Structure 1
Amino acid sequence: MAETAVLLVLHDVAPHNWADYRPFVEAVDALGAVPITWLVVPDFHHRDALHDHAEFRRLLDSRVARGDELALHGYYHCDDQPAPRTPKDWLMRRVYTHEGEFYRLSYVQALNRLHEGIAVFQRNDWPLSGFVAPAWLMSQGTRQALRQLPLSYTSDPQHLYRLPDFTRIDAPGLVWSARSAWRRRLSKALSDCREHRWKTAQVIRLGLHPVDMRHEFSRRYWLETLQRMLNAGRIPMTKAAWLATRS
């Protein structure tokens, strides 16, 4: 069987939640050379701009230097468009998530916001290959905008997509809903079933969120799952590095 991979991905990376992630990242670093993909939000909810946090930018510099990947994860990570007008919009934007930043953007709006995010990476000399929309929600205008930009990939919960043509590549992912105890228990049960089902998958993504790090139950699950996959022979890689092996 060909080599298999595991991709460790930290979502919603911003200065204010580094305290949540730090103990976990230190535990991962202690395992050895395990590269991480960091999904970076340039100005989380309009109140946590990277520009204002030089120390955090230096931290990200150091992660790039050790082989980690930084990807663009929206710009504000919040839905700042006019209120929903249809039942479907209300369901997607108020029940499923309040953070679908790119779900309702026009082509021009999405293109401008993506250019702003790319500029943040350029100012900091961070290599950039990928864009992941908050909550994985993208309007048609966003998809059109991504076709015009020098980015290599985007993703949804179970796939990676090569840009600009959106070539789909199976890349199943584990992700939790960890806001309450019952959600954490259900997430673990579902993840255990999926991990068993995907035992021979070429790649598995582990998609972590800051809220996962605030509970011992979920934090321990992610570290143990990563260790289990490494012990099973999966090669730890970033998203961009894994895609490069499939060129």
Structure 2
Amino acid sequence: MVEEMKAVCLVLHDVAPSTWADYQPFVEAVDALGDVPMTWLVVPDFHRHDALDANPAFRRVLDARVARGDELALHGYYHDDQEPMPNNPRDWFMRRVYTHEGEFYRLSREAALARLHAGLDMFQRYDWPVQGFVAPAWLMSDGTRQALRELPLSYTSSPQHLYRLPDFSAIDAPGLVWSARSAWRRGVSKILSDQREQRWREASVIRLGLHPVDMRHRFSRDYWLHTLQRLLAEGRVPLTKIDWLARQRGQLERAA
């Protein structure tokens, strides 16, 4: 019996012209390790003042990453939440305590579809292949889910799963992610991540979900680089999310 290949997916969240300065040294360090493809979660107009359309220099960076074999996925459109104020305690917590960036948390089908089409149109303008959508903070309304069923996308995701579209079939894909805004959060994140990584040693894939704020602190930046190096040394194969999903589909078809 052939042992199942184990993978690691390196995923960069909140990719935009203004966050490239945070990511660039880390990306260069990863490139120095060899052929390690990454998935870049691209925001078309980060916080409504950082439009990719107005930044040809950074678009050239993304062109080069696509040519190198990296994956670009759509990550919201604005990555902020400017919908009407929350009107119940749960929504208040999710939209004002948990995050202020749950852009797709309250959108209707029509609003979500319009924003998704705008994002996909941008990818098309620059000839960037796109098969994945990840909602900011992984928060999606029922309307967003309805909209995703109508689009030519292959997957979306949550912190612990990938979902094939259009039927939202769930695939276990555990992910590590940090809260790095303060020293105590970074310390707790390190403890939790070490525990989770041990628990997921036999998982077929582990996703490393990085954010720009992680790159601004040596403690968290070094954690991600060393964790990636360790997982590679243990034999995990680096893949983009879409390539891992393609291999999973191939395994299912062979098994059938």
TM-score interval for Structure 1 and Structure 2 normalised by the shorter chain:
over 0.9
TM-score (norm 1): 1.00
1:176-228, Cα deviation, whole Å (9 max, x unpaired) = 00000000000000000000000010000000000000000000000000000
Moved over 3 A (4+): none
Instruction: Letter of the 1:116 partner, please give it.
Output: A
Whole-angstrom distance in 2 between the partners of 1:107 and 1:8: 30
Give 2:235's aligned residue: 233
Give 1:55's aligned residue: 57
Confirm whether residue 83 of structure 1 aligns to residue 100 of structure 2: no
Deviation at 1:26, TM superposition (A): 0.1
Give 2:76's aligned residue: 74
Give 2:137's aligned residue: 135
TM-score (norm 2): 0.96
Whole-angstrom distance in 1 between the partners of 2:108 and 2:185: 34
Q: How is 1:1-247 mapped onto 2 (pairs within 5 angstroms)?
A: 1-247=3-249
Whole-angstrom distance in 1 between the partners of 2:34 and 2:179: 28
Whole-angstrom distance in 2 between the partners of 1:22 and 1:214: 11
Whole-angstrom distance in 1 between the partners of 2:205 and 2:248: 12
Instruction: Letter of the 2:96 partner, please give it.
Output: R
Secondary structure in structure 1 of the residue aligned to 2:248 = coil
1:127-149, Cα deviation, whole Å (9 max, x unpaired) = 00000000000000000000000
Structure 2 residue runs without a partner (length 5+): 250-256
Deviation at 1:80, TM superposition (A): 1.1
Whole-angstrom distance in 2 between the partners of 1:222 and 1:215: 11
Instruction: Letter of the 1:127 partner, please give it.
Output: P
1:33-60, Cα deviation, whole Å (9 max, x unpaired) = 0000000000001100000100000000
Whole-angstrom distance in 2 between the partners of 1:232 and 1:167: 29
Instruction: Letter of the 2:61 partner, please give it.
Output: L
Secondary structure in structure 2 of the residue aligned to 1:207 = strand
Q: Among all aligned residue pairs of Structure 1 and Structure 2, give the percentage whose two residues are the same amino acid.
A: 74
Whole-angstrom distance in 1 between the partners of 2:63 and 2:119: 17
